[in-house]
Amino acid sequence: MDQQLHFVTVATRDLDAARSFYSGLGWSPALDVPEEIIFYQVAPGLLLGLFRSDKFAQDVGLDAAPGPSGMTLSHNVGSPDEVRRLVARMADAGGTVLKEPRDGSFGGIFHALVRDPNDVVWEIAFNPGWRIDDDGAVIIG
Report the interface residues with a copy of itself, using CB under 8 A: 1-11, 25-28, 30-31, 39-48, 53, 56, 59-61, 65-76, 86, 89-90, 98-99, 105, 113, 119, 121, 123, 130, 132, 135-138, 140-141
At its nearest, how many Å lie between a copy of itself and the CB of residue 63?
13
Residue number with CB closer to a copy of itself (5 or 16): 5
Decide if 50 contacts 31 (C-beta within 8 A).
no
At its nearest, how many Å lie between a copy of itself and the CB of residue 108?
16
Helix (H, G, I), strand (E, B) or coil at 129: coil
What is the C-alpha separation between 49 and 36, in angstroms, rounded?
Answer: 10
Residue number with CB closer to a copy of itself (16 or 30): 30
At its nearest, how many Å lie between a copy of itself and the CB of residue 120?
9
Residue number with CB closer to a copy of itself (69 or 79): 69
Sheet of 96-103, strand order:
96-103, 110-115, 121-126
Residue number with CB closer to a copy of itself (16 or 67): 67
What is the C-alpha separation between 9 and 47, in angstroms, rounded?
Answer: 8
Decide if 122 contacts 113 (C-beta within 8 A).
yes
At its nearest, how many Å lie between a copy of itself and the CB of residue 62?
9
What is the C-alpha separation between 105 and 117, in angstroms, rounded?
Answer: 27
